[in-house]
Amino acid sequence: MAQRVGKCTNYSGCKLAYRNEKITVVTKDFRCPECGSPLEPVGPKKGAPYTLYVLIGVGAVLLFAVGAIIWTLTNSPRPHVVLVQESPTPVATPTVAAPTPVPTPSAVIAATPAETPPATTPEPVATPVGPLNFDTSTPEIAAVRREVLRRIETSPYPQAQKDRAYELVDKAKGMGRLFTVSFETSVTKIPPQEVSLVQNTVTQPQIKKVLDDPAVVLVILGFADRQGDDLLNQQLSQGRAQTTIDLLRDKCGVLNVMYPIAMGGTSIFDAKEFAKNRIVEVWAVLP
C-alpha cells in the first residue's frame, strides 16, 4: 500500500499537531497514530501549480515578444508608400489654376444690387419745422379764423359742442398752423409714409412744446379738391380730419382736445395741382 503524508490538526490534545510534524501513514485509515484524528493531506502536490504558473508567464512573454516583432515588421514598409505618393506632387502643375479665381468678381457684382433697397428707407424723415406764428392779427391767420368760425356754424355737431368750439376759436389769444397731412384721391385713409411723417413731426421740439400744454386746443381742418360734387367733398374733408385725429390720439399720444372741421372742396392751395388741395391742416388754438 502506498504511503501518504499528512498533518494532524488536533492542536489541543495532540503533540504531533502542536509540533506541526508531518506524519507518514501506510495504513488504510488516514488518521493520526497518537490521537486518532483525521489527517490533513500535505505533500509535493502543491508544487505543481507553481510550475504551471511559471510556464504560463513564460508563454505570455514569448507571445508578446512575437507579436511585437510581427507588428514592427508589418509597419516598417509604410514610409516607402508615403514616398511614392509624394513623388507625383511636384509633377502636378495645377498651380497654374490660380488664375481661375476670376469668378470672384461676379460675386461682388451680384452683391452690389443688394445695397439698393436701403435707399427707400429715408422717406419718413420729417423736414424741420420753421418758426411757428400764432399772431391772429396777420391777414392769413385772421382769414383762416373767420373761415373756421363759419364752418363751425354749419357743421353737423351738437349745438353745445359747436358753441364750445366757436368760443375757443373766437376768443383765442393765439392761433397758428403746426403741420399738414397729405391724402390720395377720394380716400380718407392716411398713407403709411404720411403716418411716419406725422409721428416724426410731433416729436420736433417746437411742435412738442405746444402739444405738451394741455390748455392748447387743436382744430383739424380737412380739405378736398374740387373734382367731386360738394356733398362728396364735404364728406371726404370731414373723414380726413377725423382720421387725422385718430392718428394723433392713438399713434402719437396727443392728449389735447381736438375738433375736426370739414372745409369741403377747395383750390386755394393750388388751382392746377389738385393733390395740393387734398390735405389736412393741424392748427393750434391758444386760449
Q: pLDDT for 211-221, tens place per residue? A: 999 999 999 99
In the chain, where the domains are located: 4-42, 139-286
CATH 3.40.190.10 fits 139-286, yes or no: no
Q: pLDDT value at position 134?
A: 96
Structure pTM?
0.56
pLDDT band at 10; cut points 50, 70, 90: confident
Which one, of 261, 257, 264, lies nearest residue 285 by Cα?
257
What local confidence, expressed as pLDDT, does residue 60 receive?
A: 87
Check pLDDT > 70 for residue 105. no
- Range with the poorest average pLDDT among 109-113, 119-123, 162-166: 109-113
Q: Does the pLDDT value for residue 81 go beyond 50?
A: no
* CA 279 centroid distance within chain: 39
| pLDDT score of 110 more than 50 | no
- Decide which of 256 and 59 is more confident: 256
First to last CA, the chain: 144
- The residues, any chain, with a CB within 8 Å of residue 190's CB and separated by 6 or more, are 181, 183, 198, 243, 244, 247
For residue 77, pLDDT over 60 is answered with no
Rounded CA separation 123/198 (Å): 12
| Strand, helix or coil for residue 40 | strand
> Rounded to an integer, what distance in angstroms lies between the CA atom of residue 10 and that of residue 27?
20
Q: How far is CA 257 from the centre of its chain?
A: 40
Residue 117 — very low, low, confident or very high, per pLDDT cuts 50/70/90? low
Distance CA 98, CA 287 (A): 80
